[in-house]
Structure 1
Amino acid sequence: MAATTDSNMDISTSLTGILNENLCADHLQTLKTFTGALRDQVYRDGVEEEVFSSLLKLLSLLCEELEAANTENQDVQNVSVKLQMTAECFRAQRNSCVQNTRNQGLLSELGFIELSVKILSLLHTMKFEGRNGIFEPLCCGIQFLGNLSVGNQACKDDIWQLTFPNLLLQLLSVEDEKAVGYTAMVLQTCLDEAKVEEVAEPDNIQLALRVMELCRTHPDLDWTVLIATQHFLKSSALVERMYSVMSHLDRVTLLELLQAQLKEEDPEECGIPPSVARFLASCFQKGCGAVLTLATGSASSNEVLQEALTVISLLDVLCEMTSDHRQFMFLQNHPDLLETTIELLSQVHAIGKASKNVFSAAENFSSFCDIEDSSSCSPVISFKAHLIRLIGNLCHSNTDNQNKVRELEGLSLILDNFSIDANNPFISQWAIFAIRNLLEQNKSNQELVAGLERQGSADYSALMKLGFEVEKRDGSILLKPVKKNT
């Protein structure tokens, strides 16, 4: 303990000495010694308040000199030294907070949060020849806020109050990827349900939009993905407000994250509110016609193409929501969702038959797409198959929807999609799945299918997999249960 006390006194004396001299490169080593000492837990636990007070005074002096440098033409080398010393102060603060609640509280009480936030704001706006030199202190300062907030709710709240939303948004937009990543870490650490609702307010929505943009442009940045999946997607208000103003590209990213969340091991733990499902179903109904432009060639602009891709992503999410997710099965009763899906399938099927286009069936799997180059794939790959999948999901154990499909002539439409189609892998399997759900305990549907006249080139032998035997008689198709061997 005596050795630790002596070290405290030596470092305190050294820091005080720096304050009485003109700051220069020689003082940087003193700070590095302090930073290195703080890596030792015993030393870290024994640092006295006086040492931190001296560090705070030094940081305040550096802040004043950097402010002056930002308004005056100063020597780049001189400014560079001040920036390095600022970075080292931040490193010392960062190290002192590691697994140390006492130091977290002490630094907060002394005013380190306010001063550090002030310097980060200054660094963000500094303009001088060696601008790249700001990134080191910027990163270290953000790391300090991150370490300070870990496991300390009071510090989280203070940091949030001082940085939300403007500084967080500014730091998420700097040109240094590490700084952006550290900022995302701070945001993720501070967020809770109440703070997410603050983010959802119209005046603050830009912060959420920036996070979603980073999820698209920097998919390897884990912190932004965690922010989106663990916080943003759980707020229906935030999802709706983001979706209404974001670009189609970012909408697709949001929908891809939603789908990934839905595929979690425990379907009940995805955390997505039912109101989000209702909203997305309505978006699909409202905009689904955009996908038809892909066949007519009118999707000449990126905007139109991206809108169509959004519709395709919406369909994928709705398929996932209605598969093994009991909390979303109310979508079976969502007004006109089933009718919209049947009508879209009918249009896509008719367009594909009318002329050669992206919705036409293809038998050649060799030209399907390059597995190693997804950009070579058509944007509507599996679209028709997924429409059939959604119809099947919406009719599962739902007599009203089974009947509705029959009334809308959807049964014959689905039966006409049993043929192999390279543009819609597994379409036969999804058609089998849908027909099974449509025929299950529904005598009227079974009788209709049994009496249908053969149209097109559908392969009804696939119905054998459902336990039905298909027999052609006088141009009609009869459906009867397969006889079991006794």
Structure 2
Amino acid sequence: MAAPRPPPARLSGVMVPAPIQDLEALRALTALFKEQRNRNLDTIGVAVDLILLFRELRVEQESLLTAFRCGLQFLGNIASRNEDSQSVVWVHAFPELFLSCLNHPDKKIVAYSSMILFTSLNSERMKELEENLNIAIDVVEAHQRQPESEWPFLIITDHFLKSPELVKAMYAKMSNQERVTLLDLMIAKIVGDEPLTKDDIPVFLSHAELIASTFVNQCKIVLKLTSEQHADDEEALATIRLLDVLCEMTANTDLLSYLQVFPGLLERVIDLLRLIHVAGNDTANIFSTSGCVKAEGDVSNVAEGFKSHLIRLIGNLCYKNKENQDKVNELDGIPLILDSCSIDDSNPFLTQWVVYAIRNLTEDNSQNQDLIAKMEQQGLADASLLKKMGLEVEKRGDRLILKSTSGTPPL
């Protein structure tokens, strides 16, 4: 049986740990627990208590920081690929250890505590996180501070994004900067090298409901960005990122059909496109099409391509969907989209997205084809613009036909 540890020394009324004589011994112990046969000793609780003591003292001496790190590595090794050890670590470590370590200024301590959390989490313990949202939000903040660290990233993409309930609860409580970080990781998951699995789809349908409903309810807040006084409004910037997520979600066929019928989404996107189009033409602001107005800081980066993405989303929502094609026509959206097609440094690939949207709006839809043909005849649609789209208007008897210039059959 190991000899008992000496009690902590007391200095000027402040508790300090006794000097660590041999950090190599702690490192050796950490290495031993990589082997399964060494993981059943009753040391997890003691290790957690020491780690919490280190955090409470907030010491910065290198030797104590090293011991702090080694203690976390020890817990990570003992929990790795061993469910029994994970359960014991969770009982002793949750929630205090994670609340103490995930926001620590030392990068290694954040990384090691993230590793323990990633290793220990399962579907049952995810429910406990819903009651301790600060831990989940601390993970997002850790990813903000250390985007190069794999553990916070994996916790969010492999655990958090599999729980719609947790994501919804987190989103309601997070700051707008944290929301942007979470939405960025949602995009990364959707467009990653590995496509969403069959098990992922029901979860992301729930995420789609959260994203779409939030966008419908607050999308007009982006108009704040037209004012210099609100040029860095974080809520508006978070709303712009919602649009980016919707674009990627509607590029997934499994999510598209749900969003195509989402109440109010298409109408709100057309309405917002009209509002920023008018605002950009009226005064010089971040949505102006001249390309000469650039906001400082991160605003221009976040708002860049906003009009393009609105048109892209309209095109996606109308893909092989006659009801939405007709709805855009009813809302006078087709002239608006055509009028939006101009050279704009702030909206790269704008023309390409207009072409894409118009083709989706006119595919197997004679009413929309006739509308564009009449617009060209009346001078309301630029013939050269239609030519760029690979379209031209041909008169056949008393009827105007919109057809492809590539020789393919009419749209």
Same fold (TM > 0.5): yes
Amino acid paired to 2:155: I
Question: Given the alignment of the two structures, is residue 236 of structure 1 paired with residue 164 of structure 2, yes or no?
Answer: yes
Equivalent residue for 1:125, pick from 50, 56, 69: 56
How many angstroms apart in 2 are the aligned matches of 1:90 and 1:240? 41
Equivalent residue for 2:26, pick from 61, 80, 90: 90
Partner of 1:329: 257
Amino acid paired to 2:351: S
Q: Secondary structure in 2 aligned to 1:175?
A: coil
Is the CA contact (8 Å cut-off) linking 1:96 and 1:103 kept in structure 2? yes
- 1:168-227 CA deviation, whole Å, 9 max, x = no partner? 1101122322111111111111112222222122xx000000000111121112110111
Equivalent residue for 2:275, pick from 347, 355, 358: 347
Partner of 1:308: 236
Residues 96-175 of structure 1: matches in 2 within 5 Å?
A: 96-98=32-34, 100-105=35-40, 107=41, 111-126=42-57, 133-175=63-105
1:363 Cα deviation from its structure 2 partner: 5.6
Per residue, is there more helix in 1 or in 2?
1
Partner of 2:321: 398
Question: Given the alignment of the two structures, is residue 69 of structure 1 paired with residue 10 of structure 2, yes or no?
Answer: yes
Partner of 2:207: 276
Partner of 1:215: 143
Is the CA contact (8 Å cut-off) linking 1:451 and 1:478 kept in structure 2? no
Q: 1:260 to 1:84 in 2, by over 3 A?
A: farther
| Stretches of structure 1 lacking an aligned partner (at least 5 in a row) | 1-52
Amino acid paired to 1:430: W
How many angstroms apart in 1 are the aligned matches of 2:53 and 2:224? 49
Q: Secondary structure in 2 aligned to 1:264?
A: coil
Equivalent residue for 2:174, pick from 246, 249, 252: 246
Partner of 2:368: 445
1:135 Cα deviation from its structure 2 partner: 1.1
Provide the identity percentage. 39
Q: 1:376 to 1:359 in 2, by over 3 A?
A: closer
More displaced, 163-172 or 139-148?
Answer: 163-172
Partner of 1:423: 346
- 1:70-110 CA deviation, whole Å, 9 max, x = no partner? 78568x8xx56x2344x444323211122x211113x2xxx
Q: 1:457 to 1:360 in 2, by over 3 A?
A: farther
Q: 1:133 to 1:265 in 2, by over 3 A?
A: closer
How many angstroms apart in 1 are the aligned matches of 2:358 and 2:126? 43
1:122 Cα deviation from its structure 2 partner: 1.6
Q: Secondary structure in 1 aligned to 2:393?
A: strand
What is the TM-score with the length of structure 1 in the denominator? 0.76
Is the CA contact (8 Å cut-off) linking 2:375 and 2:381 kept in structure 1? no
How many angstroms apart in 1 are the aligned matches of 2:380 and 2:193? 39
1:154 Cα deviation from its structure 2 partner: 0.2
Is the CA contact (8 Å cut-off) linking 1:418 and 1:459 kept in structure 2? no
Q: 1:469 to 1:97 in 2, by over 3 A?
A: same
Q: 1:444 to 1:142 in 2, by over 3 A?
A: same
What is the TM-score with the length of structure 2 in the denominator? 0.89
How many angstroms apart in 2 are the aligned matches of 1:84 and 1:448? 84
How many angstroms apart in 2 are the aligned matches of 1:328 and 1:190? 34
Equivalent residue for 2:193, pick from 241, 265, 275: 265
Is the CA contact (8 Å cut-off) linking 2:376 and 2:382 kept in structure 1? no
Partner of 2:356: 433
Equivalent residue for 1:320, pick from 248, 265, 275: 248
Equivalent residue for 1:386, pick from 297, 301, 309: 309
Q: Secondary structure in 2 aligned to 1:69?
A: strand
How many angstroms apart in 1 are the aligned matches of 2:280 and 2:209? 30
Is the CA contact (8 Å cut-off) linking 1:142 and 1:179 kept in structure 2? yes
Q: 1:457 to 1:182 in 2, by over 3 A?
A: farther
- 1:286-323 CA deviation, whole Å, 9 max, x = no partner? 121111111133406x5xx1111101111001000001
1:151 Cα deviation from its structure 2 partner: 1.2
1:454 Cα deviation from its structure 2 partner: 7.5
Is the CA contact (8 Å cut-off) linking 1:452 and 1:477 kept in structure 2? no
How many angstroms apart in 2 are the aligned matches of 1:92 and 1:148? 13
Q: Secondary structure in 1 aligned to 2:230?
A: coil
Q: Secondary structure in 1 aligned to 2:288?
A: coil
- 1:394-441 CA deviation, whole Å, 9 max, x = no partner? 010111100100000001101112222111111100000000000011
Is the CA contact (8 Å cut-off) linking 2:376 and 2:393 kept in structure 1? no
How many angstroms apart in 2 are the aligned matches of 1:456 and 1:308? 37
How many angstroms apart in 2 are the aligned matches of 1:450 and 1:456? 10
How many angstroms apart in 1 are the aligned matches of 2:283 and 2:400? 28
Q: 1:148 to 1:444 in 2, by over 3 A?
A: same
1:376 Cα deviation from its structure 2 partner: 8.4
Is the CA contact (8 Å cut-off) linking 1:315 and 1:386 kept in structure 2? yes
How many angstroms apart in 2 are the aligned matches of 1:368 and 1:426? 18
Q: Secondary structure in 2 aligned to 1:434?
A: helix
How many angstroms apart in 2 are the aligned matches of 1:336 and 1:211? 34
Q: 1:391 to 1:229 in 2, by over 3 A?
A: same
Is the CA contact (8 Å cut-off) linking 2:305 and 2:346 kept in structure 1? yes
Aligned-residue RMSD, C-alpha: 2.9
Instruction: Tell me the matched-pair count.
Output: 403
How many angstroms apart in 1 are the aligned matches of 2:330 and 2:225? 29
Partner of 2:184: 256
1:338 Cα deviation from its structure 2 partner: 0.3
Q: 1:244 to 1:460 in 2, by over 3 A?
A: farther
How many angstroms apart in 2 are the aligned matches of 1:102 and 1:324? 46
How many angstroms apart in 2 are the aligned matches of 1:83 and 1:135? 11
Is the CA contact (8 Å cut-off) linking 1:84 and 1:137 kept in structure 2? no
Amino acid paired to 1:350: V
Q: Secondary structure in 1 aligned to 2:98?
A: helix
Amino acid paired to 1:479: L
1:357 Cα deviation from its structure 2 partner: 1.7
How many angstroms apart in 1 are the aligned matches of 2:375 and 2:87? 67
How many angstroms apart in 2 are the aligned matches of 1:274 and 1:379? 25
